Amino acid sequence: MNLINQPALKLSITTFVISIVHLISCAQPEKTVKMTTPMQASAQESAVPGTTETATFANGCFWCTEAIFEQLNGVISATSGYTDGHVKNPTYKAVCTGETGHAECLQIVYDPAKISFDELLEVFWETHDPTTLNRQGNDVGTQYRSGIYYHNEEQKQKAERYKVELDKSGAFNKPIVTEIKPFSIFYPAENYHQEYFENNEGNNPYCTIVIRPKVDKFRKVFKDKLKK
């Protein structure tokens, strides 16, 4: 994947250098795997009361996004899955048809004492193209839409403010199409999707051609925020 630099907007202390060009699609034949159960907002956020918070982002293929966010210091878990659809217990195959209404997403549980929601937003905006409707590079379909699914009013306000500021700044050549909606439900993806890059870098060309360059770029830009 080649990264094309664009004009940047300074948010907090980080300068955005945003660019995405995908080479091949992440859609692959589905494996037969038993689905896990959905995670409701209340259950997820109360797992460790008072010590963790949750963020839910859709920004393209979750194989890519998981490989990035799980490396951030303060991120406790990054789970690939599906959100914002109208079909219960969706499978990967069903989501790929675009008929279930779900977006491929990442459910991030993090320690706010180590990393803030603002910092997670910085990574979100910088590691995908939020101006392309229902696609990221060669991955096309409503399941690849850009979205922030907020868990509380503070997350909503921050996401909306950042979106407005980025548009006003001209950081992108086109308007941002990222949807900002309240979190409803999260279905973890099948087990073979979890830690996909780590487990398949030597087996799937997509990992080498698309994910590895993206991860390397991310590690250079956010080197001070990585786990030691």
Note the pLDDT of residue 92.
Answer: 97
**H or E element in which residue 75 lies:** strand 75-83
Among all residues, which ones are annotated catalytic? Answer: 61
Mean pLDDT of the region 110-115: 96
CA distance 124 to 57: 8
Note the pLDDT of residue 55.
Answer: 98
On whether the CB atoms of residues 65 and 123 are closer than 8 A, the answer is no
Residue found under tokens 């990054």: 78
CA distance 120 to 80: 16
Across the chain, mean pLDDT equals 84
Residue 66 CB burial class (10 angstroms; 0-12, 13-18, ≥19) = buried
Mean pLDDT of the region 28-55: 53
Please tell me the number of Cα atoms within 13 Å of 225 on its side-chain side: 22
* Conformation bin of residue 9: beta by default, left when phi > 0, alpha when psi is -120 to 50: beta
CA distance 80 to 191: 9
> Could you tell me the pLDDT band of residue 141, with boundaries at 50, 70 and 90?
very high
Note the pLDDT of residue 111.
Answer: 97
Q: What is the pTM of this model?
A: 0.81
Q: Which residue from 68, 78, 62 is spatially nearest to 27, judged by alpha carbons? A: 62
Length of the chain as a residue count = 228
Note the pLDDT of residue 7.
Answer: 37
Domains observed in the chain: 10-223 (3.30.1060.10)
In sequence order, which ranges of 35-86 are alpha helices (DSSP H)? 41-45, 62-69
CA distance 60 to 129: 9
**Residue 219 pLDDT > 50:** yes
Q: Which residue from 79, 89, 106, 84 is spatially nearest to 36, judged by alpha carbons? A: 89
Q: Tokens in use for 212?
A: 């590895």
> Could you tell me the pLDDT band of residue 50, with boundaries at 50, 70 and 90?
low
